[in-house]
Amino acid sequence: MKYIRSRVPGAYYFFTLVTYNRRKLFLESQNCELFMQSLDYIKENHPFDLFAYCLCPEHIHMIWELPENDHDFSTRLRLVKSFFSRHLEVELKYSKNPSRVRKVELAVWQRRFWEHFIRDEKDLTNHLEYIHFNPVKHGFTYSPKSWVYSSFHRFVEEGIYDESWGEGSDMNYLDKVGKE
Strand residue runs (E) in 33-160: 49-55, 59-65, 91-93, 101-103, 114-117
Ramachandran sector of residue 51 (left: φ over 0; alpha: ψ -120 to 50; beta: rest): alpha
Interhelix angle 29-45/73-87, rounded to 10 degrees, is: 140
Residues pairing with 54 in the sheet: 61, 150
Give the whole-angstrom CA distance, residue 103 versus residue 83.
Answer: 17
Using alpha carbons only, what angle is made at residue 25 by residues 93 and 20, rounded to the nearest 5 degrees?
90
Point out the residues that are catalytic: 149
